[in-house]
A and B are shown apart, each in its own frame.
Chain A
Amino acid sequence: MSLFAARDIAIQFGGIKAVDAVTFDVKQGEVFSIIGPNGAGKTTIFNLISRIYNLTSGELIFNGKNVTKVPPHEIAALGIARTFQNIELFSQATLLQNLLIGRHCHVKTNLLSQFAFLPPARDAELAHREKVEDVISFLDLQRYRNTLIANLPYGVRKVVELGRALCIEPKLLLLDEPSSGLNVEETEAMAFWIDDIKKDLGITVIMVEHDMKLVSAVSDRVMALNYGRVIALGSPGEVQTHPEVVRAYIGGEA
């Protein structure tokens, strides 16, 4: 069954249709990749799903619920987490704090209890901490626990952002170019993690990615975009050899 569906979604910036009548379904438990040349509208789709942009038309359905008009800060609580292309971590906070912020959508203690740090608040903090520790050991981040993000190397930050998204305990994970800026080894580690996230944690993944090797390694299905329109959708092999996709990447008349 499909966990997420986009129906005819479109957004216009001025006169430019960044995303134009795009429709796709993502099945429970699959890794769904979106590829396409620069400016094809891949990240824009993510920004639409996480409600940073408002749709010009179309519908977003998640878990059987219409989420087209949900405010952006309620998306996480529904179970949709995301990472960002250029890393949007909280750079003047420690790794631990960053991951704990990922737990924010599960915070249930009231404000008064937090202000006085009453026992319920304390217990909740410890419970969140245990969850965060699970993610830290899953991603092997123990030794950076109390390091400021600003002092971490780029490759580690990329992993921290993945970790922060996992702390949300999402049903659907949006990864925006998880391998950009990573070296070959780091990209391989990322491929393993994405596979683990799918198989061990059972999280459905939508991924925007340029690295075709990573895409073919982990994806179940691939959708190719060009100029905001879907040009191909199918298995990684099918899409890569699709004539329109080849033309979009290599050039020629679109």
Chain B
Amino acid sequence: MLQQLKTTYTQDISLFANRNAVISYAVLILALLLVPAVLGEFYVGELGGVFIFAIAGVGLMLLTGYTGLVNLGQAAFLGIGAYTNAVLMTKGVPFIFTLPLAGLVSALFGVLLAIPTMRMTGFYLAIATLAFGSIIGTVFQKWTSVTGGFDGFAVPTPSIFGFPIEGTNGVYYLSLLVLIFVIWLAINILRSPVGRAMVAIRDSEISAQSMGINLSLYKTISFATSSGITGLAGALFAHYVRFLAPDSFDILLSIQFVTIIFVGGLGSLHGAIFGAMFVRLLPQFIAIVRDDLPFGIGRMPGLEPSLFGLVLVLVILFEPLGMHGRWLKIKAWLKDFPLHRRSGIRRQKTYARSERLR
């Protein structure tokens, strides 16, 4: 593979890196469109779940991976999106409006969270968002007149211009469409001044400010887009599970979202997709191989959470760039084969960046 040389400035801001990328993504989308025709309903359903989590992952990636703001309460936004969508639909609002409204309402709550947490960084923000997520979770459970409390309620079937979006396949295609839209949106953000402002805030707030970046404004924008996108995922999630129960939006779900971006690879959109695949498919993979494992390991209770934790720990210890980083290394290895040298991709040594003032 030869390095493609750039000849115009537009190449740096175009949607795809080069012609090869256009072709491979087109093939990928085509393959995904054909999946329901080839694979059984179970696999289509699982992939649909991956898409929904990938949407939420892209949302969180913008906030955490690109703006450097931690959110351990992301599940709340998924819930807000899901309930906005489902409740409005039971009131007779057509799906075509409830989907964007779900994103909008979530974005508003994102702003609501952004304003008080503006000056927090690091783990203070982690704790604050954790508390926020917990409070919203309780609201879901206690506001029985709207959410149906612990009994939950059935989500109506969506339809667009009179065409009902039914069954696993319907949700699959809908999620794929929204995922593609969200990735497009994220790429636009990242190649625009907004995205650069986010990166600037992540890497040095003080110098971002001196470059003319209004910290409060851009942090709020980042929170709003992130939670808005997650709200869209929530709306789809409502149709995916078909029956909304308030306890599905707890801290464990929030931790899953953070795991998506961590295991996938911080600071890359690919990472969000890889991470969503990992988080959604690991339990299914365990379910499939459960009976074939020796010594009854597969039947051990708690296998799934322990593997989940183990992978998280291993990734942070040995591959801080996540699955995407590993993928890039494999690609580089293949490209240079057989002349590969380890030193080319050695990890940068980082020294303690103290957040204290000494």
Q: Do chains A and B touch in the complex (CB under 8 A)?
A: yes
Cross-chain contact A90 with B210 (CB below 8 angstroms): no
Give the distance in Å from the alpha carbon of A77 to the alpha carbon of B197 in the complex.
15
Cross-chain contact B212 with A90 (CB below 8 angstroms): no
Interface segment among B43-51, B129-137, B185-193, B247-255: the answer is B185-193
Please indicate the chain A residues that have their CB under 8 angstroms from the CB of B267 in the complex.
Answer: 92
Cross-chain contact A101 with B200 (CB below 8 angstroms): yes
CB distance from A147 to the nearest CB of B (A): 12
| Closest partner residue, chain A, to B9 (CB atom) | A129
Q: Is B291 an interface residue (CB 8 A)?
A: no
Cross-chain contact A168 with B185 (CB below 8 angstroms): no
Cross-chain contact A115 with B185 (CB below 8 angstroms): yes
**Most chain B beta-carbon contacts within 10 A, residue among A81, A90, A116:** A90
- With A89-B203, A116-B188, A129-B12 already in contact, the answer to whether A109 and B193 are too (CB < 8 A) is yes
Q: Is B18 an interface residue (CB 8 A)?
A: no
Q: Is A247 an interface residue (CB 8 A)?
A: no
Q: Is A130 an interface residue (CB 8 A)?
A: yes
Query: B-facing mask of A126-168, CB < 8 A → 1, else 0?
Result: 1001100100000000000000001100000000000010001
Query: A-facing mask of B192-212, CB < 8 A → 1, else 0?
Result: 111011011011101111111
CB distance from B88 to the nearest CB of A (A): 24
CB distance from A193 to the nearest CB of B (A): 20
Give the distance in Å from the alpha carbon of A82 to the alpha carbon of B204 in the complex.
14
**Most chain A beta-carbon contacts within 10 A, residue among B193, B209, B211, B348:** B211
Cross-chain contact B212 with A104 (CB below 8 angstroms): yes
Q: How large is the interface on B (under 10, 10 to 19, 20 to 34, 35 or more residues)?
A: 20 to 34
Cross-chain contact B188 with A88 (CB below 8 angstroms): no
| Closest partner residue, chain B, to A47 (CB atom) | B206
Query: A-facing mask of B94-125, CB < 8 A → 1, else 0?
Result: 00000000000000000000000000000000
Cross-chain contact B192 with A114 (CB below 8 angstroms): yes
Please indicate the chain B residues that have their CB under 8 angstroms from the CB of A133 in the complex.
Answer: 9
Cross-chain contact B197 with A104 (CB below 8 angstroms): yes
Cross-chain contact B207 with A90 (CB below 8 angstroms): yes
| Closest partner residue, chain B, to A117 (CB atom) | B188
Please indicate the chain B residues that have their CB under 8 angstroms from the CB of A150 in the complex.
Answer: 348
Q: Is A75 an interface residue (CB 8 A)?
A: yes
Cross-chain contact A73 with B209 (CB below 8 angstroms): yes
Please indicate the chain B residues that have their CB under 8 angstroms from the CB of A65 in the complex.
Answer: none
Cross-chain contact B192 with A76 (CB below 8 angstroms): no
**Most chain B beta-carbon contacts within 10 A, residue among A81, A114, A168:** A114
| Closest partner residue, chain A, to B217 (CB atom) | A73
Please indicate the chain A residues that have their CB under 8 angstroms from the CB of B306 in the complex.
Answer: none
Cross-chain contact A72 with B209 (CB below 8 angstroms): yes
The B contact surface, by secondary structure, is: helix
Instruction: Give the contacting residue for B203; candidates A72, A93, A151, A168; CB below 8 A.
Output: A93
Give the distance in Å from the alpha carbon of A81 to the alpha carbon of B211 in the complex.
7
CB distance from B218 to the nearest CB of A (A): 9
- With A111-B221, A125-B13 already in contact, the answer to whether A105 and B212 are too (CB < 8 A) is yes
- With A115-B189, A117-B191, A130-B9 already in contact, the answer to whether A101 and B204 are too (CB < 8 A) is no
Cross-chain contact A50 with B193 (CB below 8 angstroms): no
Give the distance in Å from the alpha carbon of A121 to the alpha carbon of B338 in the complex.
43
Q: Is A213 an interface residue (CB 8 A)?
A: no
Give the distance in Å from the alpha carbon of A164 to the alpha carbon of B209 in the complex.
13
Please indicate the chain B residues that have their CB under 8 angstroms from the CB of A73 in the complex.
Answer: 209-210, 212-215
| Closest partner residue, chain A, to B13 (CB atom) | A125
Cross-chain contact B189 with A92 (CB below 8 angstroms): no
Please indicate the chain B residues that have their CB under 8 angstroms from the CB of A129 in the complex.
Answer: 9, 12-13
| Closest partner residue, chain B, to A92 (CB atom) | B203
Give the distance in Å from the alpha carbon of A81 to the alpha carbon of B194 in the complex.
20
| Closest partner residue, chain B, to A174 (CB atom) | B210
CB distance from B158 to the nearest CB of A (A): 25
| Closest partner residue, chain B, to A78 (CB atom) | B212
Cross-chain contact B192 with A121 (CB below 8 angstroms): yes
Please indicate the chain B residues that have their CB under 8 angstroms from the CB of A97 in the complex.
Answer: 196, 199
Please indicate the chain B residues that have their CB under 8 angstroms from the CB of A75 in the complex.
Answer: 210, 212
Q: Is B7 an interface residue (CB 8 A)?
A: no
Cross-chain contact B199 with A93 (CB below 8 angstroms): yes
Give the distance in Å from the alpha carbon of A47 to the alpha carbon of B32 in the complex.
54
CB distance from B303 to the nearest CB of A (A): 36
Cross-chain contact B199 with A115 (CB below 8 angstroms): no
Please report which residues of chain A, range 82-124, place their CB below 8 angstroms from some CB of chain B when the two chains form the complex.
Answer: 82, 84, 88-93, 96-97, 100-105, 107, 109, 111, 114-117, 121-122
**Most chain A beta-carbon contacts within 10 A, residue among B212, B267, B348:** B212
Cross-chain contact B199 with A89 (CB below 8 angstroms): no
Give the distance in Å from the alpha carbon of A232 to the alpha carbon of B279 in the complex.
66
Please indicate the chain A residues that have their CB under 8 angstroms from the CB of B206 in the complex.
Answer: 52, 84, 88
Give the distance in Å from the alpha carbon of A44 to the alpha carbon of B358 in the complex.
16
Q: Provide a sorted-by-A list of 13 A–B residue pairs whose CB atoms are within 8 angstroms.
A: A52-B210, A73-B213, A90-B200, A90-B204, A90-B208, A92-B267, A102-B211, A104-B200, A114-B189, A122-B13, A129-B9, A151-B348, A168-B211
**B-binding residues in A (CB < 8 A):** 50, 52, 71-77, 81-82, 84, 88-93, 96-97, 100-105, 107, 109, 111, 114-117, 121-122, 125-126, 129-130, 133, 150-151, 164, 168
- Besides the known contacts A73-B214, A104-B196, 6 further A-B residue pairs in the complex with CB atoms under 8 A apart: A72-B210, A75-B210, A90-B208, A101-B211, A129-B9, A168-B212
